[in-house]
Amino acid sequence: MKEKSMNPSLQLILDIAEKLILEKGCRNTTLQEIAVQGGLTKGAIYHYVKSKDELFALILEAGQQQANQRFIDSVSDTASQKTGPLGPFESLSRSLHNLAGRENAANLIFIYLLSQKDSPAVTDILNRYYEASIQMTKRWIEVGKQHKAIPEYINEENAARMFAVFKNGLQIQNVLAPESGKIPDRDLYQFLLNALGVKDTSSQER
């Protein structure tokens, strides 16, 4: 995914695309309809992307950036003592729930692109998305170590890839089998702590 500078026109295109995806699904969302609803021409969209799949890739990228910013903000709140030391993990568990829900366009895009994986261009998008997720999670773990919230012995690479397996599985479950029920926030939170060897002493302090 090539980095695109965000500006009002591109943000409008992404917002309309997300709205249509939630209403009609990825397959039935077209660049033509996005252009019409935004009062734009298809040429305006092609200024930023070459295809619908590439536009979808930008939405995935924007979702990653938002998740990263929420984590950074939660670390900042912890550093300023606005939240407890495990605040970033609570932020991660909420991000997982938001990302994996059927009401999240990025999740629907991820599932849609998986179904198009026989296309080399889509395979490239998915690979880039996956590796970007790994690198972002590794940075989160490094930040956790710096703040003494994650033990030093945790291997960033292995933990990040295990986190990706869990996240992707959760995404697929919530789209293909929503009737199985959502995993409660608290359970997700505990899973993250256990996977990273972090002790939750909050219940003991009450």
Determine the number of helices (DSSP H) and then strands (DSSP E) in the chain. 10, 0
What is the rounded radius of gyration, in angstroms, for the C-alpha atoms of the chain? 18
Distance CA 60, CA 54 (A): 10
Taking residues 101-122, what's their average pLDDT?
Answer: 87
Q: Give, in order, the Cα–Cα distances in Å from 178 to each of 11, 71, 85, 166, 171.
A: 30, 27, 33, 16, 10
- Is 205 within the bounds of a domain? no
The stretch 149-174 carries a mean pLDDT of 83
Between CA 164 and CA 205 the distance in angstroms is: 32
Same domain for 59 and 110? yes
Residue 164 lies in a domain: yes
Give the count of domains, the chain.
2
H helix intervals, 80-184: 87-100, 105-115, 120-146, 156-176
72 shares a domain with 33: no
Q: Are residues 117 and 69 in the same domain?
A: yes
pLDDT digits (tens, 9 = 90+) for 31-80: 999 999 999 999 999 999 999 999 999 999 988 888 888 777 776 666 55
Question: What CATH number did the domain enclosing 21 receive?
Answer: 1.10.10.60
**Integer Cα distance of 122 and 57 in angstroms:** 9
Q: Which residues contact 35 (CB under 8 A, 6 or more apart)?
A: 41, 42, 44, 45
pLDDT in tens, 119-145: 999 999 999 999 998 998 888 888 878
Whole-prediction pTM? 0.78
1 inside domain: no
106 and 63 part of one domain? yes
